[in-house]
Amino acid sequence: MLLKLIEYIGALIEGPIEGVGRIMVLFYSVLKWLFRPPFEIRNIFKQMLEIGVKSLPVVLITAVFTGMVLALQSYTGFKRFGAEGLVGSVVALSMTRELGPVLTALIVTGRAGAAIAAELGTMRVTEQIDALETLATNPVKYLVVPRFLSGTIMLPALTVVTDIVGIIGGYFVTVILFGVSSRAYLRTTWDYLEVEDIYNGLIKACFFGASFALVSCYKGFYTKGGAEGVGQATTGAVVVSSMTILVSDYFLSAWLFK
């Protein structure tokens, strides 16, 4: 009975543990190829366009509405105890420290992470990855490294945009809709915001970018079993990346914002 239970638990965790091991192996080979010329400049730019530039519209909409709703909620809420003057700080701190990196990461994962897993997964099941190898081209260097690099670079870049646009959204609601003076809003924004808030947020974004790209590449790269497998890889990439982002966010925040 007990043995059965242990066996059952073993079987249950075997998959994830094996997965973590194989992601680490992939990560190691990404690092190994990352610094070896020739660099895949063309592929890297293409992926930066795919992951970064093409995510810009959704990121902008998310950012502006997040900033707006933050301002709306904190204005009406803080009014109860006369603290509506702090709305600017609330928006600025929440955006830079937390919502900027996390929301951007989740949105980009939903878009680009799914696309990466689906593309690499399709390439795997249609033997295109094997074909790359027969053409003496290392698929990790050719496919995974550019995506990993673009994720790691573009996520902080998009987060900067989110931070700024979020603060503008908050400004719009507070100043234009609620009639708080523009100077008061901007002062509270700058007074409590420190440079660390911004760059610690960007460090988080960097980490999220690296992890969603790695997880999505891993899911796609090791896809098995036709169209159904590609579907599973895609969902798996989004679910696992999002979980990784949300869980690591807590620990990163605890470590960075002491």
Partner 1 sequence: MIELKDVYKSFSGKDVLCGANLKVERGESVVVIGGSGSGKSVLLKHIIGLLKPDKGTVIVDSTDLSQINEDGLNEIRKKFGMLFQSAALFDSMKVWENVGFGLKRHTHLADSEIKEIAVRKLKMVGLVDVEEVMPSELSGGMRKRVGLARAIAMEPEILLYDEPTTGLDPIMADAINDLIIKMREELNVTSVAITHDMKSAYKIADTIAMLYNGVIIAKGTPDEIKNTSDPVVKQFIEGSAEGPIVLEGIKK
User: Interface with partner 1 by CB under 8 A: which residues?
Assistant: 119, 122-123, 126-128, 130-138
Contacts with 38 (C-beta within 8 Å, 6 or more apart), sequence order: none
CB of 137 or CB of 182, closer to partner 1:
137
CB of 135 or CB of 254, closer to partner 1:
135
CB of 47 or CB of 200, closer to partner 1:
47
Q: How far is the CB of 233 from partner 1 (least distance, A)?
A: 17
Q: How far is the CB of 167 from partner 1 (least distance, A)?
A: 38
Q: How far is the CB of 27 from partner 1 (least distance, A)?
A: 17
Q: Can you tell me the distance from the alpha carbon of 5 to that of 158, in angstroms, rounded to the nearest whole number?
A: 47
Q: How far is the CB of 11 from partner 1 (least distance, A)?
A: 16
Q: How far is the CB of 132 from partner 1 (least distance, A)?
A: 8
Q: How far is the CB of 74 from partner 1 (least distance, A)?
A: 46
CB of 128 or CB of 232, closer to partner 1:
128
Q: Can you tell me the distance from the alpha carbon of 166 to that of 88, in angstroms, rounded to the nearest whole number?
A: 11
Q: Can you tell me the distance from the alpha carbon of 49 to that of 112, in angstroms, rounded to the nearest whole number?
A: 11
Q: How far is the CB of 232 from partner 1 (least distance, A)?
A: 17
Q: Can you tell me the distance from the alpha carbon of 242 to that of 107, in angstroms, rounded to the nearest whole number?
A: 9
CB of 136 or CB of 195, closer to partner 1:
136
CB of 62 or CB of 150, closer to partner 1:
150
CB of 104 or CB of 122, closer to partner 1:
122
Contacts with 199 (C-beta within 8 Å, 6 or more apart), sequence order: none
Identity of residue 230: V
